[in-house]
Structure 1
Amino acid sequence: MRLFGPILVLTLIEIALFITVGGWLGLGLSLLVILGTAVLGSALLRLQGRRMALDLRQAMNGIGDPLSPMAQHGLVMIAAVLLILPGFLGDTLGLLLLLPPIRHMIISMVGRRVQVRRPPMHDTHRHGVVIDADFVELDPDTPPGPQPGRRSGWTQD
């Protein structure tokens, strides 16, 4: 129910903008702008998926921090979706999100409000996983398998 109000307001704004800008540009040019931004958005979405996979692979190999590329690519993907959806407000917001200074500003604003908790290093003693074992160093010249007078090691006597 909380989303109904904002969605209704955005829909009414889109309709009002379509009537206003459409009356100013004309029907043909308005449809051309809407279809052109939809094509741009779908091309961006396809290209962004490939770039995100490459950037994340590089970040996971220790070349960089994976959070920054994920945030950048996420905002570009949101921009692409806004460009695909019909409407002048969504197109304007999508085009604004394609500008790197706007994306950096949004990421820094969200970064100030969100705390990222990194998982602690794996500590076997804290989690109670302790493996108690004995080992026997085998002579490399002795062939594998049971030997007379020697236990196999796989059974308990």
Structure 2
Amino acid sequence: MAGLSGIIEIVPPAEKGAAWTVTDMREEWKLSNDGIAVDGETGEIVDRVDHADWPLAAKLSAWLIQLHMGTLFGWINQLVLGVIALGLLVVILLGYRVWWKRRRFLAAAQWRRTRPGLLAGTIVFLLAYSVMAPMFGISLVAFLVLDAVIKNVATRKSKSE
């Protein structure tokens, strides 16, 4: 249909007398998505938007979204994203492990020597980022609460012995 290929999406007009839109759907291994506007009464193509005419930034955005969603290169794309996700999980867990081991050896006095400006900046950054990414903030608070509880239990246990 008018140079469109593969799966297409046909959307009726929002207002009477407006054109119908017909666009290529995003599919695996397909780097271009063209679209046309069709007059519903005459069936004539009244407008056309070819992917080749898109600005480079728009093309890159579309491709990166598809790549990020795992739809650009099919199962291969999804496999690579899965490996990256597992790698990130391993790095995160190893980071927590290193922090946990090191934390036991640091004296409380060393934490007090942290520069106030650096500490304040870190807290402001973490609060701002937590507003933009609430799940990060929730998990950070949960981690800090859990750490405080474990530290409190360990302190009480060592005092009772």
Q: What range describes the TM-score normalised by the shorter chain of this pair?
A: under 0.3
Larger RCO, structure (CA 8 Å, separation 6 or more): 1
Q: Please state which structure has a larger fraction of its residues in strand.
A: 2
Higher helix share: 1
Larger Rg computed on CA atoms: 1
> What is the TM-score with the length of structure 2 in the denominator?
0.26
TM-score by length of 1: 0.27
